[in-house]
Chain A
């Protein structure tokens, strides 16, 4: 059973370009969470999605950032017009149906995408 898959592992962008980060949750999981880890900082919640729905995007900057989790295909975190401050590791996690609103059980994390903005 494959774990949470994120790609690319490393992404280099120049200021002003767009970054697209992909996350395929574990098989059978329908809840996806994105976290960001800045250097020397803890993981910070960004957004929580279920299939075709954004449940909570309160941790995501209102400008330039968007996320989706379509009925088919991976979840996408999109950052438009990237700036150097966007450089960070972005982690995706997933959980099974019925646990999204009460994650008493563990979250399964992917290996992350390291975004570097030149």
Chain B
């Protein structure tokens, strides 16, 4: 069974204080790893898809990286508007590759 573990569960940063979120996964074969953000009362909002170890993607203050066992979401000089719950999900290879397995998320709070 595919598993996704995210750490830490919660992270509190000061504005401008860079840090990283971790997503460890086990999957029989990885087709893609997804990062989403989810604000209170809303659905997940897509951020990135990573497909192979060594791949990196950037968007504003966020950079996602991927290895064979984990992914990191690096946040550089965060702002209060980056406060959200960040979700990681894996997409398996094979017949059920439409099923995403999500982690529980990391709640990020950025204080001004």
Contact across chains for B32 and A110 when beta carbons are under 8 A apart: no
Query: Interface residues of A, CB < 8 Å — how many?
Result: 30
Interface assignment of A69: CB less than 8 Å from any CB of chain B: no
Interface stretch, picked from B11-19, B65-73, B98-106, is B98-106
**Which residues on B sit within 8 Å (CB–CB) of A83?**
none
Is A107 an interface residue when CB atoms closer than 8 A count as contact? yes
A80-118 Cβ-contact flags toward B at 8 Å (1 or 0)? 000000000001010000001111111111111000000
| B26 is an interface residue with CB less than 8 A from chain A | no
Cβ of A59: which chain B residues have Cβ within 8 Å of it?
99
For A28, the chain B residues whose CB sits under 8 A away are: none
Per-residue B-contact encoding for A1-13, CB less than 8 Å = 1, 0 else? 0001000000000
Closest Cβ–Cβ distance, residue B26 to chain A (whole Å): 14
Least distance between B71 CB and chain A CB atoms (Å): 15
Q: In the complex, A103→B99 CA distance in Å?
A: 9
Given the interface pairs A42-B4, A42-B102, A42-B104, the reply to whether A56 lies near B42 with Cβ below 8 Å is no
Q: Mark A25-57, 1 if CB is under 8 A from B, else 0.
A: 000000101010000111111001000000110
Q: Could you write out 25 A-B pairs with CB less than 8 Å apart?
A: A33-B98, A35-B102, A41-B104, A42-B102, A42-B105, A43-B44, A43-B89, A43-B102, A45-B99, A48-B98, A48-B99, A55-B98, A59-B99, A91-B43, A91-B44, A93-B43, A101-B97, A103-B97, A103-B100, A104-B31, A106-B49, A109-B44, A109-B45, A111-B43, A112-B41
Contact surface of A with B, Cβ cutoff 8 Å = 4, 31, 33, 35, 40-45, 48, 55-56, 58-59, 91, 93, 100-112
* 16 other A-B residue contacts (CB within 8 Å) besides A42-B87, A42-B104, A43-B44: A4-B43, A31-B98, A35-B102, A40-B104, A41-B104, A43-B87, A43-B100, A43-B102, A45-B99, A48-B98, A91-B44, A93-B43, A104-B31, A104-B49, A106-B46, A107-B100
